[in-house]
Structure 1
Amino acid sequence: MHYAIVTETYPPQVNGVALTVRALEQGLQARGHRVTLVRPRQPGERDTVGDALHVAGLPLPLYSGLRFGLPAAGLLRRHWRGDAPDAVYVATEGPLGWSAVRAARALGLPVATGLHTRFDRYMREYGLGALERIAWAWMRRFHNRGDATLVPTRELAAELSAHGFKRPLRLPRAVDTHRFSPERRDVAMRSQWGIDARQLAVIHVGRIAPEKNLALVVQAFRAIQRVRPDARLVWIGEGPSRAALQREHPDFVFRGMQHGDALAAHIASGDLFLFPSRSETFGNVTVEAMASGVATVAFDCGAAREHLRHGLHGGCVPPGDATAFIDAALYLASDDRLRAACGAAARRAVSGLRPAQVAADFDALLQGLTPRGGRHGSPAPA
């Protein structure tokens, strides 16, 4: 089979969407399929490299290093007329994504979209709640132009159905349990953080930005410090809020952006992971922390709703309940034996999440798409 994947973001950019899209691409290739990747051209790149098609793009305001693709419907129609894919997957809702859906529709190609970003919740987190309804309408219009909308959780599929999305289908996520493992724990790295084996390392991993609800991380950690004065808070990631946090809290440890094995070692070297974000469609880092054997506190949504069990793997608390979040963090921070048991149970809970199965499910969903006008079988959930 020949598939086309269209995305506005892709490594070396580091974010959940870019890494998820690359994993899907590699999974299809490992199954013997040909994949044409369509994405914005980075400075110095050629228009085409192998099966990659690079289109014009511009820097994304407020997100250093990220670009969005300009509309390319005409280019894609010409390209796909001469080398038609069996199905198209559009991972992002930017100008390039919209034009890719239009091009696929015009050629009668089956096309699935992926909902990776909760723009409705971003409006709320940035104090623009009045635009939340507009965000829903815009997202619904885009995704309903495709033959299916792929989402990572049952919760999100149900929510989209309630908001008028016509064909939300669940495509589960997985985690690389060989890379993310308790065996990556690094005593020397903890020493660099100023933490010995007996001290408590509280970690946060992700973009350091307003939409991540980071004030709650600070609140929870300061509460922990009152019962564990030896605790340190370690931030792994970059973002626009870092400078202010670093200025206002000089005792925090900032490790910047980490990748690959270095990221895995940073996560495994922590003792307690706090993840208060409410704007994720999934939150890959939740299952990465669980696979690393680190007790986790998160709200009961996204990956936590799917995999994190309260009291067994850490704390999974009602969405938006800051008091419950802080209480769960305090409970785990004050009991070393319980925290270790939760980390070990979390590792066992996600050990069966296999990337190869996600690739097989993705393959089946794309092969089962029915374009408007009909050519393939009807889409069925993986």
Structure 2
Amino acid sequence: MRYAIVTETYPPEVNGVALTVQGLENGLRARGHEVSVVRPRQASDSAGLEHELLVRGAPLPRYPGLRFGLPATRKLAAAWREAMPDAIYVATEGPLGWSALRAAKRLGIPAATGFHTRFDEYMRNYGAAFLQQTALRWMRRFHNKGAATLVPTRELAQFLESQRFDNVVRLPRAVDTMMFDPAKRDDALRESWGVGRDDLAVIYLGRIAPEKNLDLAVRAFRELQKIQPRARFVWVGDGPSREKLAQDHPDFVFCGVQRGQAVARHFASGDLFVFPSLSETFGNVTLEAMASGLPTVAFDYGAAREYLRDGVHGAAIRDGDDDGFVRACADIAGDAGKRRAMGAAARQAVAALRPEQVAADFDDVLMRLADTRRAYAPAAST
């Protein structure tokens, strides 16, 4: 089969959407399919690979280093006429994503979309809560132009269906347990953080930005520090809030953006993962932390709702219970035996998840769309 994936973010950009999309691409390729990728040209690109179609882009406001694709309907339609995909996956809702849906409709190619980002929640986090419903209507209009909207959790599927999103399909996620493994623990790395063998390293990994609810993470750490005075808070990632956090908290350890095996070493070298975000569609880092043997404290939605058992693998806190989040962090931080037991149980809970199964499920969705292609008559040219 011949598939096309359209995305406005892609490695070496580091974020959950980029890495998820690359994983889906690699999974389809490993299953023997021909896969082309449409994405904005990045600063590091001299020329695209043979299977890539690069389009013009522009910087994404408030997200340094990321770009969005500019409209490219004619370019996509021309490329796809020459090498017609059997089905298309549109991963992002920016101008490039809209162009892809328009081109697919003109050519009669079935397209699935991926719901990766809660832009409606971002409106609240960036001081524009009055735009939440507008953002949700905009996303519904976008996704309902496709033949299926892929989501990672049952919870999100139910929410979107309640908001009149059509043809919502759950595509579960997985984690590479060969990469994310407690065996990657690195005492030399811990020492560079100022953490001894028996000291506590609290890890946050992700974008350092307002939508991640980071004030709560800081509050929780300061509280657990009363029990573990030698604890260090290690931040892996970057974002617009990093500079102020570093100024306000000079004892915090900032490691910057890490990739590949380095990410796995950082996770495995920690002792407790705190993830206070309330704006994720899934939260891949939750699975990565669990696979690395870290007890995890997160709110009870997304990946935590699907895989994290409260009191067994860490703590799954109900939405709005900030005090409960803080208490859980302090409780787990203060009991080394509990941390070890929870970390081992967390690893075991995700040990059976296989990226290969995700690829097979994704392939099945696209193949079923391709099989119904005759139902998609080309629209008249405009």
Match of 1:327 in 2: 327
Unmatched runs of 5 consecutive residues or more in structure 1:
377-382
Secondary structure of the residue aligned to 1:49 is coil
Match of 2:375 in 1: 374
Give the conservation status (yes or no) of the 8 Å contact 1:40–1:69.
yes
Match of 1:345 in 2: 345
Match of 1:43 in 2: 43
Secondary structure of the residue aligned to 1:188 is helix
CA distance in 2, matches of 1:204, 1:125: 19
Match of 1:169 in 2: 169
Paired amino acid for 1:141: R
CA distance in 2, matches of 1:259, 1:247: 25
- Deviation for aligned residue 1:235: 0.6
CA distance in 2, matches of 1:35, 1:323: 47
Q: How does 1:3-14 map to 2 (within 5 A)?
A: 3-14=3-14
- Deviation for aligned residue 1:154: 0.5
Match of 1:83 in 2: 83
CA distance in 1, matches of 2:185, 2:149: 38
Give the conservation status (yes or no) of the 8 Å contact 1:273–1:289.
yes
- Indicate whether 1:295 and 2:284 are aligned: no
Q: How does 1:198-347 map to 2 (within 5 A)?
A: 198-347=198-347
- Deviation for aligned residue 1:49: 2.8
Secondary structure of the residue aligned to 2:341 is helix
Match of 1:141 in 2: 141
CA distance in 1, matches of 2:327, 2:56: 49
CA distance in 2, matches of 1:222, 1:98: 45
**1:268–1:48 distance in 2 versus 1, CA, 3 Å:** closer
Alpha-carbon displacement from aligned partner over 1:197-237 (angstroms, at most 9, x marks no partner): 11111111001000000000000001001111111111111
- Deviation for aligned residue 1:375: 6.1
CA distance in 1, matches of 2:118, 2:102: 22
- Deviation for aligned residue 1:373: 6.0
**1:143–1:375 distance in 2 versus 1, CA, 3 Å:** closer
Secondary structure of the residue aligned to 1:63 is coil
Alpha-carbon displacement from aligned partner over 1:24-70 (angstroms, at most 9, x marks no partner): 00000000000010001123646653111111111112211111111
**1:51–1:372 distance in 2 versus 1, CA, 3 Å:** closer
- Deviation for aligned residue 1:366: 0.6
Give the conservation status (yes or no) of the 8 Å contact 1:47–1:53.
no
Secondary structure of the residue aligned to 2:226 is helix
Give the conservation status (yes or no) of the 8 Å contact 1:212–1:278.
yes
Give the conservation status (yes or no) of the 8 Å contact 1:46–1:54.
no
Secondary structure of the residue aligned to 1:369 is helix
CA distance in 2, matches of 1:46, 1:192: 36
- Matched residues, number: 376
Identity of aligned residues (%): 61
TM-score when normalising by structure 2:
0.96
Alpha-carbon displacement from aligned partner over 1:247-297 (angstroms, at most 9, x marks no partner): 011111111111111110001100000000011100000000000000000
CA distance in 1, matches of 2:255, 2:376: 51
Secondary structure of the residue aligned to 1:330 is helix
CA distance in 2, matches of 1:373, 1:46: 39
Unmatched runs of 5 consecutive residues or more in structure 2:
378-382
Secondary structure of the residue aligned to 1:65 is coil
Q: CA RMSD in A?
A: 1.3
Paired amino acid for 1:83: A
CA distance in 2, matches of 1:332, 1:98: 46
CA distance in 2, matches of 1:49, 1:292: 33
**1:199–1:46 distance in 2 versus 1, CA, 3 Å:** closer
Alpha-carbon displacement from aligned partner over 1:145-185 (angstroms, at most 9, x marks no partner): 00000000000000000001011100011101011000000
- Deviation for aligned residue 1:128: 1.1
CA distance in 1, matches of 2:374, 2:171: 25
Match of 2:364 in 1: 364
Give the conservation status (yes or no) of the 8 Å contact 1:208–1:239.
yes
Give the conservation status (yes or no) of the 8 Å contact 1:147–1:372.
no
Paired amino acid for 1:342: M
CA distance in 2, matches of 1:167, 1:243: 42
After TM superposition, which residue ranges in structure 1, 4 or more long, deviate above 4 angstroms? 370-373
Match of 1:193 in 2: 193
Secondary structure of the residue aligned to 1:131 is helix
**1:44–1:356 distance in 2 versus 1, CA, 3 Å:** closer
CA distance in 1, matches of 2:292, 2:48: 38
